[in-house]
Amino acid sequence: MEGASYVNIDRKDISVGPVISSGACRNKVCRATWTLASSEKTVAVKVCNNFHEDEVLILAKLKHANVIEFFGVVKPASAIDSYMIVTEYAEQGSLYDVIRQHRDNWPEYRQNRWMRWAQDGAKALEYIHQKGYQHGDVKSPNYLVTHDDTLKICDFGISRKWDFTISTVTNRGSYPWMAPEVFGNVADDSKSERKPCKVTTKSDVFSYGVVIWEMISGKAPYPDKVGFHIYKAVVERNERLQIPCDFPEHQQISDLLSKCWQANYKERPSMQKILRDLADIENGQRKTVGTSDNVPDAVAGPQTTPGVQQQTDAMQHFMSQEEPKEKRQKRMEETEGTNAATGGIPTTTAAAAAQLQPLPQLPQTRMPTHRTQPNDSGGDKNSNENPTGTLDDRSLYGISRYIAPRDLLPLSLQLGLSSAEFSQVEADHPQDFVRQTFSILVMWRNNLPHDVNQKEAFCVALEKVGRKDLAMQLANRSFELI
């Protein structure tokens, strides 16, 4: 345990309250109060009957808006005490419980929620898979709903790096969500036979299809079947859950879930593809050109339009006058530092800020963006008419120098970019992190609606990925002076 990369919380600082839920291996989750230096924080505490350090080591590495936030571990004070895992508290409980509570009026309740939840849950899995992990137990009880209806995944008790095998007994409570390959060779549910079975990222995809089905149907999967009978239906008879006929996007969601539920796991889509399909459904624009995971043409390579060329020229101007490599490396190492008092959230140090030099003057060139639209008189209505909240290239480049490498991928996803777009930018600018960051921020800004306050939107995204420190810093000072 010594030297593990997570925070150890003093047991006397945690006041355990009522039980919220109980699960496998007699573990239970309680609401608790964590007493900090000058305040109290409501948290969730998992009291572990069987503590596995792997779970907290994984949690400590995952920082994403749709992954439950991990604060630390409470060690046993005596032989009769248990380890406790301290995490963010989600006020509404699990997605499974929310659906059950609102089942009577689910069509109305889901109307403004299901798509956001579906995308939240998919973003969480996309991020986890990008990190090289499989969750291994994707189901609605393992998705939590916060006070603002954000969906976050939790319970990494059987998560692993890369593909792995588990016992069917380990996952017994998850039969309704399990992919065919995860059942192994189940012979009889009454026997505790330990049958090995393979888990991959595509096993998570199958299970997530069931979670989406729950979101749109408002029902529990296979409520009239027990484990062995679910195995017979899913594996031997290749049966699948039925999409409600009265669901508005019936055909589109049927197409998506049929891909997720392919018997051959190799034929299932990636989470990136699922996110793109969900976006198409949301926009009412189904794609008609295949199902590959190829990067969209819009981000496949450099463009040669005059506006984009001006943008490229401006970026080259900035890069040609950036700080020396040695100074930048030292600054980024300091920025990567963590503050134990904030549960491991990266902070921007005063020393790092002190090293930042004023930026060179931007050439007097107006950069055309998506924010420029015609007005009633036939002229251009440029964002300069309402400069409050606007981020120009100079500001974005300054911000890029504050973003730590570990934050860029989750921030990109929070800003609405796909992992494919992120990978393309990495490929376009290898070994140049500031250039990568600047390119991503420009891409995000240029696709924002005209009436969005860019500063506020960016600060919200920073807070979502755990960079509240930087969001506050940016909100309280002029972006142009960064």
- Residues annotated as catalytic are 137
Query: 396, 413, 453: which is closest to 124 by C-alpha?
Result: 413
- Name residue 152's beta-bridge partners: 144
- Residue 348, SS3? coil
Query: 30, 27, 35, 31: which is closest to 9 by C-alpha?
Result: 35
Name the residue type at position 427. A
Q: Are 324 and 281 in contact (CB under 8 A)?
A: no
In sequence order, the 6+-apart residues with CB closer than 8 A to the CB of 191 are: none
4: region left, alpha or beta (phi > 0 left; psi from -120 to 50 alpha): beta
Q: Residue 479 corresponds to which tokens in the numbers above?
A: 């972006």
Q: Are 109 and 102 in contact (CB under 8 A)?
A: yes
Alpha helical stretches, state H, 289-374: 306-320, 325-335, 350-355
Name the residue type at position 113. R
Element holding 472 (H helix, E strand): helix 468-475
Q: Residue 262 corresponds to which tokens in the numbers above?
A: 């392919």
Distance CA 254, CA 239 (A): 14
Name the residue type at position 403. I
- β-strands 28-35, 40-48: how paired? antiparallel
For 83, half-sphere exposure in the C-beta direction (CA atoms, 13 angstrom radius) is: 13
User: If you write DSSP's letter for every residue of 22-47 in order, what string do you get?
Assistant: E-GGG-EEEEEEEE-SS-EEEEEEEE
Q: Residue 465 corresponds to which tokens in the numbers above?
A: 């990925």
Alpha helical stretches, state H, 111-200: 114-130
Distance CA 37, CA 17 (A): 20
DSSP structure class, residue 270: P
How far, in Å, are 14, 44, 143, 176 from residue 50 at the CA level? 20, 17, 21, 24
Name the residue type at position 451. D
